[in-house]
Chain A
Amino acid sequence: MSSSALAFMLVSWGFIFFLAALSVGTILVKSKEKR
């Protein structure tokens, strides 16, 4: 796999993981606080 392809894949995956972790994490923490 070329380094540019790997870079594009990892950055894209990283961005999605970041968005998912941030949003789902916030929901979990805030839901607990609400309870």
Chain B
Amino acid sequence: MEKRKKGVRGEEAVLEHSREHWGSKLGLILAMAGNAIGLGNFWRFPYQAAKNGGGAFMIPYFAALLFMGIPLLIVEWSQGRYGGKYGYGTIGPMVYLQAKEGAKKRTALILGSLAGALALSIVVLLNSYYNHIIGWTLGYAWLTATGGYMDSSVDTGSYFVGYIQNPVTVFVFWLITLAILWYVTRGGIQKGLERLAKIAMPSIYVFAAILLIKTLTLGSPIRPEWTPIKGLDFLWAPRWNELNWSSTLAAAGQIFFTLSLGMGIIQNYASYLKDDDDITTSAVATASLNEFAEVILAGTIVIPIAFTFLGSEGLKSGVGLSFIALPNVFRTMIGGSLFGTLWFLLLFFAGITSSIAMFNYLVNFLEEQFNVDRKKASNFIFVLYVIAGLPIALEPILTKTSELLYLTELDNWVGSYLLVVLGLLEIISAIWLFKNKGLEEMNKGSYWKIPKWFYSVVMKFITPAFIIVLLVFSTAEYVANGYLKLIPDFAKAYPNLIPWVFAARIVLISVFVLSFIMVYKALTKVHGDEAGDSK
């Protein structure tokens, strides 16, 4: 158990040995890449790229990667390692420690509490539905292997609706997912998280490589003009007329979500680094592995496979591609049962290596704030996720609908908007308030040193500008889409489901307020004297 002690004048003594560390460089990179590579890499990117200009989409996409994604990722690694040095693995105290260098202690306390509350709300609520989606992938892997929807008379859309309305399938695979998360997290960093990453990450790449080869050798089984190469052409041909503000924002948003930025979970993993471990090169390596999975593997599998069997019309189903359109494909293709199972297992591994990071964040929170040991904390978080995930399971089962409005409302906030807000708070504390110490901290032990000009120009101004623009335009989009109305536009057509939207809002606000109080109290308990000094 970590113990934090205060030195003279309220400064904290650096903890040198009590925190667990990653066992190997390979384990760290795979775990971090697993953290970043999630379901979004495989079902969101291909759809976003195809919808927003094809090859032309890659210009804002790479610009956002270089000027926002990678700099913020390095900031998060650095912030995490800095916090870990003081025995912290959660973002509240990390933001506080850096912000107090350039702001009044009271302001730092508020910033830290805000960041900590946002991160807690995100990891509790985002994972409450993310675990269900991972459960669906596991369920579909089982059903694909055992022939569940392989009869061509079955409508795959109705089949999916039947799946989410069936308490047996929903609860069994969801609870298996939670049990795996619980078991792995109990094992700790080296014997739990790192071991999982060493199994799951190579599996993802091997499964994807098999699917990629299968995809490119499909030929044209349905229509002569529907081939995998035509699918690649559809994905990569630049359509300049589709490149506009909206597609640029979609690219920046995709970079934010694909790298798991603005959630606190990168910082949590980085808190298990040693004080002189490399940051910059490792962060770029994990970003590259993430991009390899997203752009090269997912791009070459998803769109070409769907195009070959369904044509360009089949690509319009968006995120429904995985559970509705692709099952249609798997039952048509030779060996579809095997390849379909591989596809859903790939999604399962991609999801669970990200979900475990959120699970561990909460376990770490209990460890450091309430002095609970890891095993007890894992038990508690398992129960917490069962409770938090119940409304997601119950909405379609009780109402016999498939709109998932509770999930949609939560996702609009903790799955996108609040991540950008937290990303901005991170930059404010780690770059603007921590000042040039931020550069020293990033370069300490790093193989690649960040030049001062890059820090002063890109990290200080261009990256926050990217985030602010993303935030402003996202806000405008939320207003235009009616998300801020008492009854949001997307819910108007389903009056019987409006209580589920309200329930989501009540849960979101309650979790945020409760988290803020907990983080604030924890911070004032350790740092209250310092904050008082600065009055």
Contacts and interface: CB of A to CB of B under 8 A. Distances in A.
Interface of A: 1-2, 4-9, 12-13, 15-17, 19-20, 22-24, 26-27, 30-31
Nearest to A9: B236
Interface in B146-178: none
A20 B233 contact: no
Contacts of A2: 233, 237
12 contacts: A1-B232, A5-B233, A8-B56, A12-B55, A12-B295, A16-B295, A19-B291, A23-B281, A23-B285, A26-B447, A27-B447, A30-B281
- By secondary structure, the B interface counts as helix
Nearest to A22: B284
A20 B288 CA distance: 5
Given A20-B291, A20-B292, 9 more contacts: A5-B235, A8-B56, A8-B58, A8-B236, A12-B62, A16-B292, A19-B284, A19-B291, A26-B447
Contact of A19 (B229, B238, B288, B447): B288
Given A5-B237, A12-B58, A13-B296, A27 B282 contact: yes
A6 B285 CA distance: 25
Interface in B16-62: 25, 29, 54-56, 58, 62
B51 to A, nearest CB: 16
B278 A27 contact: yes
A13 B288 contact: no
Contacts of A9: 55, 232, 235-236
Contacts of B287: 19
B237 A26 contact: no
Given A15-B62, A27-B29, A1 B285 contact: no
Contacts of B58: 8, 12
B289 interface: yes
A12 to B, nearest CB: 5
Contacts of B454: none
